[in-house]
Structures are given as C-alpha cells and as structure tokens.
Amino acid sequence: MQVKSGSTYFDPMRLYDRPIWLDVWFIVGIILTVPNFLVATLVLVRAEFSWDLADRSISGFGFLVGQTVVLFAIGSLVPVFIRRSIRRGKLSVAPMRPDPGFYADPIRKSSQRYWNGTDWTSELRQPYKREAARMLFLCGVFFGISLLLGMGSAMKGLAGERLKQAYDDSVSLTDQLGRQAALGASDSGRSTDPEALIRLTSSLAIVGAAMDKAVADYPRRDGEATALDGVPLVKYEAFSKGFAALGDQLQELSGQLQQCGARDGSCVARAIAAHEQDLRSIAGGVARTRVEISGLDPAS
C-alpha cells in the first residue's frame, strides 16, 4: 500500500529492509501449507483416530512435515528472495542524468521514482496498482488445487491401507481356521474341532464384512485397471468373495453343530461330513488366490 504525501506516494515495499514476514509472498507460502494440515487432520478423523493407520495413509507424518517445509520454501521464501534480489539489482542502476529528481522507476516503468542524487528513494509520482485482489485469487486457486490433490492422494492411501489391513486380518483368520478346524488339504488326518468352528464363525463374519467394505471403497477409474501395490484389485475381490463363501458355509455348519449339542458325536460327525468337501474346496480356492496375491505384492 502506498501512503500519499503531497504530490508523491510512498512505496513501503521499495527495498529489502522490509520484514520478510510482511511480504505478500511470505503470506502466500503460509496459506499454501494450510491444506496439508487440513488433510492430515481429516485423515486422522477418517481413520478413527488410529495414529498408525493415518500415518501409513499419508506416507508418514514426518514426510508430511518435510513436504510442508518444502512447499513453504517454494511458495514463499524462494519467491521473496528472488524478488528482493531482482529489486536490488534494478535499484542499483543510476538514471541517465545524475541530478536529483523524478525519473522512470527502474522497478515499474509505469511510475516515476525519486533519485536524490545518490540513491533511489521510496517516493513515487504515481502509486503502484494494488494487487491484493489478484493475489487473493491466486492464493485461492493454489489453495484449492493443493487441498484437492492432497485429499485425493490421502483418501486413496487410507483406502489402500484399510484394504491391506482387512486382507491381513482375513489371512490370519484363515490360518487360524486351518489350524483349529482342519480345513487344509494336508489336515485329513486331523479331527475337526466343532467348538473352534463355532467360536471362529462370528469373527469370520466381522472380518469378512470389513474385507467386502474395504474392496468396495477402494477408488476405481473407469476404463483403467485398478491395482494396489502392483496387485490387481480383481485379485482382492476374488479373495473377498471366496472368504465370504467360506464364512457362509461355516455359518451354516455352526448352526447345525449348535443344534447337535456337544455330546451328540454322531450328529456332529454327520454335520461336518455334509460340509467338509465344500469347505475344503472353498478354502483351497482362497488359498490359491492368496498365493497369487503374495506373488504379485513386492512387500510380501
């Protein structure tokens, strides 16, 4: 802002002695860092305040802080120092006539600046046009773009971490079923524990629902193959369907076992025999899909 003094105007941004925190580009840099903090806060809320899940979703809070510092430097400090360096160079050039007076402003040719015979001063004949509206508009545009890009990346990261977590939980539960309920192909010599099946059925339903939701919530693009860490999403969908089918079979078997009662061994044997083949077949399909995912995932 220029302060009118008689027939001249004062240019408070003239030199490089103005505090850097009052420079408009410094303020712009601060504004550009705000979206990062908003994104981190929203991700933490969407992750139900799970610090570990939120941290993995945004590649680490340390990474976010570093990115914010770099963004602030690029959007604020670098432009400020470049701008001041350019002004220094221009104001070091004396006018063609060394006599004191108003001459073409070396910074902006549309105005005239006073030369006192030795240095350029802050006195102007015409005030600079205010750029507040343009700067606010640019800030708004950069703010919106930064927020949208940050939100899109963070939400995709959060969805990916939830899918991987749901998959790991499903795999863990599948292993537990194989150990306690003798569903593996090599477990034909072991006896199935009916109480283990009943206990694990409810857990299987909860984990299966979480897996279905995680697969459904993962963002997709029309016409493009969607993958998570190199694993096509269709593989996770196939695993989820197989896991759900396994849960349905166990749910039905669990109901029959509860009706049999713990002491009716023949009833338990008949119920298990009726479902055993289907359970082994579905469990085998789930295991094959799991092997395919492990072979594609570089982290496995």
Q: Tell me the domain boundaries of the chain.
A: 3-130, 158-296
- What one-character-per-residue DSSP string does 196-232 give? HHHHHHHHHHHHHHHHHHHHHHS---TTS--EETTEE
HEC string for 224-257: CCCEECCEEHHHHHHHHHHHHHHHHHHHHHHHHH
Q: Kindly state the helix (H) or strand (E) to which residue 280 belongs, with its residue range.
A: helix 265-296
99-158 pLDDT, tens digit per residue, is 888 888 888 777 888 888 888 888 888 766 666 677 778 778 878 888 888 888 889 999
Q: Provide the 10 A C-beta neighbour count for residue 231.
A: 22
In this prediction, residue 166 carries a pLDDT of 93
Mean pLDDT of each 10-residue bin along the chain, 300 residues long = 53 57 73 86 88 87 86 78 81 84 84 87 75 73 85 90 93 82 46 71 90 92 79 92 91 85 75 83 89 71
In this prediction, residue 131 carries a pLDDT of 63
* DSSP-based three-state secondary structure for 124: strand
The whole-angstrom distance between residue 5's C-alpha and the CA centroid of its chain comes to 52
Which alpha helices (DSSP H) does 73-225 contain, by range?
Answer: 78-91, 132-181, 194-217
Q: Tell me how far apart the alpha carbons of residues 107 and 89 are, in angstroms, rounded to a whole number.
A: 10
- Contact between 127 and 105 (Cβ < 8 Å): no
pTM of the model: 0.68
In this prediction, residue 242 carries a pLDDT of 93
- Contact between 106 and 91 (Cβ < 8 Å): yes
- Contact between 33 and 72 (Cβ < 8 Å): yes
Task: Compute φ and ψ for 225, nearest 5 degrees.
Answer: -70, 125
Which numeric CATH code is attached to 158-296? 1.20.120
